[in-house]
Structures are given as C-alpha cells and as structure tokens.
Amino acid sequence: MSEFRIHHDVNELLSLLRVHGGEGAEVYIDLLQKNRTPYVTTTVSAHSAKVKIAEFSRTPEDFLKKYDELKSKNTRHLDSLVYLLSKLTEDKETLQYLQQNAKERAELAANAVTSGSTNFSIPASTSKISLQELEELRKQLGSVTASSSVQQPLELTRKILRDKQSKKNSGQPIPVFPSWVYERLALIGDFLIGPSLSTDTTVPIGTLPLASQESMIVEDLLYVLIGVDGRYITAQPLVGRQNRAFSVDPNLDLSIKELVTRILPVAASYSVVTRFIEEKSSFEYGQVNHALAAAMRTLIKEYMILITQLEHLQRQGLLSLQKLWFYIQPTMRTLEILALLATSVDKGECMGGSTLSLLHDKTFNYTGDSQAQELCLYLTKAASVPYFEILEKWIYRGIINDPYSEFMVEEHELQKEKIQEDYNDKYWDQRYTVVQQQIPSFLQKMADKILSTGKYLNVVRECGRDVTCPVAKEVIYTLKERAYVEQIEKAYNYASKVLLDFLMEEKELVAHLRSIKHYFLMDQGDFFVHFMDLTEEELKKPVDDIIPTRLEALLELALRMSTANTDPFKDDLKIDLMPHDLITQLLRVLAIETKQEKAIISADPTELTLSGLEAFSFDYIVKWPLSLIINRKALTRYQMLFRHMFYCKHVERQLCNVWISNKMAKQFSLHSAKWFAGAFTLRQRMLNFVQNIQYYMMFEVMEPTWHILEKNLKLRFTQSMKLDNEMVRLTLEHGTMLGPPTEEERAEESAKKKLTNKLLAEHADNLHLTSGFVATINKFDSNFSTHLLDLLDKLSVYSTNDCEHSMLNIIYRLDFNGFYTERLEHMSAERSQKAAPLLPSLGVPAQ
C-alpha cells in the first residue's frame, strides 16, 4: 500500500470516527509505517479469529451467520478483516473508545430520525395502542420488509446489465437472445408452477398395496428428477433464493416415504442447477458464467442419460425403489456440488474474475475429496477459457477485448494530449486500472505485473507499431500457480524490453533527459551566462510588466549563441512565468491533504508583487509517449529545483558585481577606505556561502544522483549502444560562440567605467559621515550570521540524528577555518541544558 493510500485511509477513518483536533493524521501515519508487518492469513488463523470474535460477541449466532453469508459470496479480504477484529477484542482501550463512539453516533442518528419525517405515524407512548392500530402498523412494517427482500426480476437484471454493457461498448452491438427464449417457460427444464394440465385420474395412493405404491412412486421420482411434477410428489413455489421444496402425498407408506425423502435432494439440486444454467447462459452475465453454464449443461446431459436408462429399466419392471436409490447415489454428490457452486455464484452476483476466484477457492477447499476436487477442477478449467483469452491478448499484444467487464484490467477514455496539463500521473494511472473484484485469487500476486505488461505493449501499439510476444503460450488453468508466474514473467520481461528499447532508441529518452539536465539543472554554463546577461534588465521588472515574447526572443538568442545550439531538442525549451514564488509553490505541495491546504490554495497569488526573477522558470515540451515518463509532475519537480538554483546564481552574480565595484575603493584615501572594511568582509562571507551551497547542491547532491540514474539506465539497456555514443558526444561538447568585443564596445564600456568612478569618488568621502551606512552593514552582518549559524546548527543535528553524513561536507566547507565552531558548540551546550530538566520525568537521573 502506498504512502498516499495510507494517508487517505487514515483521514477517512478519522472522519468516520469523528475524531477532531489533536495532532492530526500524520502521527498515526508514522506509527503505521513504522510498525506495520506483512501478514498472510491462513485457514487456522482465520478459524481461531472467528472463534475468538464469536466468544466475545453478545450474539455469536448472528456473527457466524453473517460470516458464512459473506464467505458464500466470496468476499475479498474477509479473513484478514476478521483477524484484525479479533486483535481489537484484545485491546480494552480501543474497545472502550469504539463503544463510546458508537453510542454517540447512535444518538446522532436517533436525533436525525426524530427530526425527519416518516411515511407512517406511530401513536404517542402515553396513549394505549389499539388492536386495529397494531395490526395496521404490522401490515405497514411487513410491506416494507417484503419489498426490501423481494428478489429483483431477472428481466430487470438483464436489462441493467445490457444497458451497462451497451454504454461501455458504444457502437458495438451486444448479442441477446430473442424474447421467446424467456417467455416459453417449458424450455427451461425446471418445474412449472401452476394449474396442472394433466387429465389423468389420480388414484389415492393410500388405497394401493405396498408394491403398487412403490411402483407408482418410482415413476413419479423419475419425472421429478428431471423437473416435472409427478402425481404424488409435486414441487413447491420458490421463495427468494431458497432451495426447491417438495410436497409428498401424506398417505404414502412411511417406509417408502423415508426413502423418497432421501432421494428428493437430488431433484432439488437439479432444479437449482437447471435454473442457474438457463439464467447464466444469457450473454448479459458474461463469457465466464456462460462457459461455466455450458460445462454444467454437459454434466446435466450425462445425468439425463442416466435417468433415461433408469426409465428403460422401470418400463421393464426391473427398477425398484432400492435400486433407484443405489443408482442415483453417485450422481447425488455431483449435483450437490453443482448446486452449491451455482448458489454461491448467484448469491455473490459473481461475474468474470470473481467467478473464477470462487471456483478456485472451492477447488482448494475440496483437497482430500478427489471426486469433488476433480469436478471443480473441470468446471474451473472450462470457465477460465474465455477469461484467459482476454488475458492472453492483454499480456501478449496489449489489447483489451472485454465487452462484458469481466477482466481484471479496465480501460478508461482519457486524452493523452492533456498529459502536459496534469500535475499528476493521471493518464498512466487511470487509463488502465485494476478492478480488484475481478482479479482471480490465483492471479492476485501477479496483478500488478499483468497490468504493467499490457500497459507497456499498449504504449508501443498506440505509437503505430504492432507488437506480439514471441514467447506467447496458451494459458491453461492449473492448481500450480508457478505455471502462471513463469508465463507472465516472460511476457512482462518482453514487454519491458520492447517499451524501453522503443523509448531509448526510437524516441531518444536519454537525449531528452540530458537536454532537461542542461537547462533545469544548469549544467550548460555558457548558455546561462549569455542568458542572464541578456535578460538581466528585463527580469528586474515586475512580472506584470514583462513581455513574454521578448523573453522568448532573448532565450532563442542565448540558445543560438552558446554550445546549447548543438542540442537537437533546444526548441522544446520554453519560458514560464509562475503566478507565485518558489516558497509559496513549496508550501502548496507540502500542504496537500493537510489542514492548511484550503487556505494556501485559496490565497490570492497577486497579494504580493513578484519580480521577474521570482516568477521566472523554464518549461519543456514533451510529446507522446515520452510524456508518460517526463510528465507534468516530473517537470514541476525540475522547475522547483531550477528556480532555487537560478535565484542562487542571480545572488552570486550580484555579489560578484559588488566585488567588482569594491575595487574602486583603491582610489579612495586610507581614511575613507577603512569604512568599507566591514562591508568587504560581509560580502566575501556571503559570496563564500552562496558558492559553497551551489557547489554542494550541484556536485554532491544532483550530479551523483544523476550518475546513479544513468548507471541504472545502462544496466537496463545494455543493448542500446546509442546511449554511449550520445553520452560521449555530449561530453565532448565545449567552447563558446562569442568572439572578442569590438572597438566600439570597448570604448562604450570604458566610458561607463569612468562615469561610475567619478560618481563614487564624489560621494565616498561623505559616506563615513553618515551613521546609517555603518548601521546598515552591521544589521546585514548580524542577520546573515544568525541565519547561517542556525543553518549550520540544523545541518549538524540532521547529520547526526538521521545519519545524513553527506551533510558534514557542506558544514566543513562553510566552516572551513573553524570561524563558527565555538559559537556552534555554545548553541549545542544550550540545547543540552534545556533538555536536562526533562530527564528525571523520563526516569533518567539528572547529572
């Protein structure tokens, strides 16, 4: 489970429990991530958990009944949930809180019901209710209960399914049976409930001798076993999902009646199976259920052959009731299992993968009963054929052909052109998604790989290339899961290789990544020198006064005048003026799914006037299919890195300009120059800080990480020699296109310097008379030192507590001569003194 899913689920749970205030979801999320351990539910642990909850429950019968009901519906993760609930029964504090919470929720619900309107009135508690009012109330409640328990008509169910399938497969007609198939009930093969059409006179069976009774009952049973009412044995109308019940003539001899009662469950099972076959044979219930019904129909045909043979013996007078019981016993077990499976599929409203999960679990549960397991294995193999056909097309060709929504992967209509606008992985995550209830339990572990395999092939297919896995083999159901794993692994490896080769060789993924590195990670030095020189004046303006087209033109000029001109993807680089500064952008990211999210997102971005430097960023155009990898989410991360680095570079340029202007102090008298000493020292400290921070970020953080990325790409694409050639070519690129300045440019520059020197000389001697200059420098020095010491102190703490030893490098670079060491030691001692009073309360003696 991903961190974001845990975050979402914890927030949902807190909302359901009406937990407000406190430290929020973050505390619980940290605890879950630190303490969670993988758990595999076994049959023994599930049974123990069920027994524990039943013992704890006030109504154990209701709990066990509900458990069996959910188990019959093949509810996913039921045993895991029961295990979790059993653990909660051991936690008294949690139980007490849940009980109190349930009480409060019940009171709120009761208040809501009291304040709402009802469809029928109940007399006030102070008055006595009459028998007539009681009967009326009983009827009203009974009608409500009956209307909620009535089974939905099959025709309505089929219509809902047809509408859903037609909506999904617009333009592709879904086959349906003609209406007469459902109108002619005699075609179903089950009992016809209604007035009897027979004109035969029924002789009271109690008046017949015992031998005649047996003969008549054997004849009746042969009819009842194939879904036709007899003279003395008739089927009762069905109520809901109950099994078929039969009415036997009460005048029948008790000895015969006892044996008849043993045989009738076969007829009841036959009725269940026959109705299931006729219902699930409709196209609306999907191909898996259709295949299962077809397999059951084959078994029923064998059963009908047996009944025909028994009828032949009965006509010859060779079939007694005892012989009928003997011949029918092997079939009884088969029909019982078929009826159980049909009832489970019907109750669970299973289709596609959920049907296969149920069949697979039943097959495993019959371990030790070879006959039952072989029967379930036969049915599961037959039912899995259409599902595996869909699976094969998906993992071998990247195509989904699932008109009845039975497959574990579902396709959604999304436009890939909008990937550049989405700040998430919406297209990749939502174009094809896993439908949990349609994952067969025997493929659960491989679900993610199955999804990815088809996705990879589908991307290549959408680019106009037809792909077919060369190691494709027919997938056949088996109890040995290793067979599926091997086939899916081979298909996955092939799909990965095809997609990655396609992206690397044909779409030049590495070249695009290097291009992004050049601009967003600022490793194209001469380009940025030209660009910042050209745009310096423009970016000083407020963002509203900047003309984007002018910046685009200056960008184009800088690209053409530097070594970036050799980049084949330089035209994909664009200018982007953001509506908020970098700090606000980071806060918006960090505030996702927190209490401050609404306040930060709804803040007016125009409250502060941004300069061009604060709003400036690059953007990059990425086309399909590279946009799946270099999507808006990834580009946003690159943009935030770039904005920080770009502003640091701007500050460094400003400090370097100050250093250049400080050289003019050599022209001043000694008395005047001493006032600049403090400013010079502060400028040098600031420059040292900015340059070392940039060095650390670029050469100790980003560059090593980038090399790891390249190394991983090489390991996965050793067959792509083009990568090595590209890396060599890009490494050898150097130089600049700028020539030496012209005489006119030198003269203009010289005039500017003379004018600047003159102005500085006129005002330099008066600077020392103004106390504001010295005070300003001291204030800058104090603020800078405070923030720098705080940064060094935090870096020292993090490097120690979080074992981030790489942070020691930047500490040593910034404090290379021990200038700040004494003050840092003093701050560390103060922290220790503040923590000392807390030690006794933790059971540790104070020093």
Tens of pLDDT, residue by residue over 54-71, are 888 888 888 888 887 777
Structural tokens at position 456: 């990879």
Q: What is the pLDDT of residue 753?
A: 54
How far apart (Å, rounded) are the C-alpha atoms in residues 335 and 269?
Answer: 6
- pLDDT surpassing 70 at residue 254: yes
Q: Which residue would you say has higher pLDDT here, 834 or 729? A: 834
- pLDDT surpassing 80 at residue 414: no
Nearest to 390 by CA among 408, 373, 372: 408
Q: What is the pLDDT of residue 263?
A: 92
Averaged pLDDT for residues 618-646: 86
Predicted confidence band at 115 (pLDDT cuts at 50, 70, 90)? Answer: low
Q: What is the pLDDT of residue 69?
A: 75
Q: What is the pLDDT of residue 841?
A: 40
List, in sequence order, every residue forming a beta bridge with 433; answer none if it has no partner.
410
Structural tokens at position 332: 């009884």
Averaged pLDDT for residues 263-271: 92
- Phi–psi pair at 399, nearest 5 degrees: -120, 140
Averaged pLDDT for residues 576-586: 83
Lowest mean pLDDT among 363-372, 413-422, 674-683, 769-778: 413-422
Averaged pLDDT for residues 570-578: 88
Could you give the maximum distance between any two Cα atoms of the chain, in Å? 144
Q: Residue 616: enclosing H or E segment and its boundaries?
A: strand 616-620
Q: What is the pLDDT of residue 548?
A: 87
- pLDDT surpassing 50 at residue 764: no
- pLDDT surpassing 50 at residue 159: yes
Averaged pLDDT for residues 678-703: 84
Highest mean pLDDT among 168-172, 622-626, 726-730, 754-758: 622-626
- Rounded to two decimals, what is the model's pTM? 0.66
List, in sequence order, every residue forming a beta bridge with 100; answer none if it has no partner.
none
Lowest mean pLDDT among 185-194, 217-226, 717-726: 717-726
Q: Which residue would you say has higher pLDDT here, 553 or 130? A: 553
Q: What is the pLDDT of residue 423?
A: 46
Omega of the bond prior to 837 within 30 degrees of 0, cis?
no
CA dihedral for 765, 769, 770, 773, sign (positive or negative): positive
> Judging by DSSP bridges, how do beta strands 233-235 and 246-248 pair with one another?
antiparallel
How far apart (Å, rounded) are the C-alpha atoms in residues 96 and 101?
Answer: 9
Predicted confidence band at 142 (pLDDT cuts at 50, 70, 90)? Answer: low
Lowest mean pLDDT among 224-228, 706-710, 779-783: 779-783
Q: Which residue would you say has higher pLDDT here, 679 or 570? A: 570
- pLDDT surpassing 90 at residue 394: yes
Please report where in the chains the tokens 């259920």 appear, as a residue.
289
Predicted confidence band at 386 (pLDDT cuts at 50, 70, 90)? Answer: very high
Predicted confidence band at 814 (pLDDT cuts at 50, 70, 90)? Answer: confident
Q: How far is C-alpha 275 from the chain's CA centre?
A: 39
Q: What is the pLDDT of residue 508?
A: 86
Exposed e or buried b per residue across 314-337, where buried means at least 16 C-beta atoms within 10 angstroms of its C-beta: beeeebebeebbeebeebeebbbb
Averaged pLDDT for residues 741-767: 54
Nearest to 242 by CA among 346, 142, 144, 331: 346
Q: What is the pLDDT of residue 323?
A: 92
Are the C-beta atoms of 555 and 531 separated by less than 8 Å?
A: yes
User: What percentage of the chain reaches a pLDDT higher than 70?
Assistant: 71
Q: What is the pLDDT of residue 41?
A: 55
Lowest mean pLDDT among 288-302, 438-452, 757-771: 757-771
- pLDDT surpassing 90 at residue 628: no
Averaged pLDDT for residues 625-653: 86
Q: What is the pLDDT of residue 162?
A: 66
Averaged pLDDT for residues 587-599: 63
Are the C-beta atoms of 379 and 289 separated by less than 8 Å?
A: no
pLDDT averaged over every residue in the chain: 76
Averaged pLDDT for residues 394-415: 86
Q: Which residue would you say has higher pLDDT here, 730 or 601? A: 601
List, in sequence order, every residue forming a beta bridge with 248; answer none if it has no partner.
233
Lowest mean pLDDT among 160-169, 298-307, 635-644, 739-748: 739-748
Predicted confidence band at 772 (pLDDT cuts at 50, 70, 90)? Answer: low
- pLDDT surpassing 50 at residue 606: no
Lowest mean pLDDT among 29-43, 406-420, 571-585, 784-798: 29-43
- pLDDT surpassing 60 at residue 551: yes
Q: What is the pLDDT of residue 121?
A: 44
- pLDDT surpassing 60 at residue 18: yes
Q: Residue 575: enclosing H or E segment and its boundaries?
A: strand 573-577
Are the C-beta atoms of 24 and 54 separated by less than 8 Å?
A: no
Exposed e or buried b per residue across 565-586, where buried means at least 16 C-beta atoms within 10 angstroms of its C-beta: eebebbebbebebbebbbebbe
Q: Which residue would you say has higher pLDDT here, 189 or 768? A: 189
pLDDT digits (tens, 9 = 90+) for 321-372: 999 999 999 899 999 999 999 998 988 888 889 999 999 988 988 888 888 9
- Start-end of H helices in 434-571: 447-462, 481-501, 509-520, 525-539, 548-560
Q: What is the pLDDT of residue 374?
A: 93
Averaged pLDDT for residues 35-46: 62
If one counts every other C-beta atom within 10 angstroms of the C-beta of residue 708, the result is 10
How far apart (Å, rounded) are the C-alpha atoms in residues 839 and 847?
Answer: 9
Q: What is the pLDDT of residue 146?
A: 41
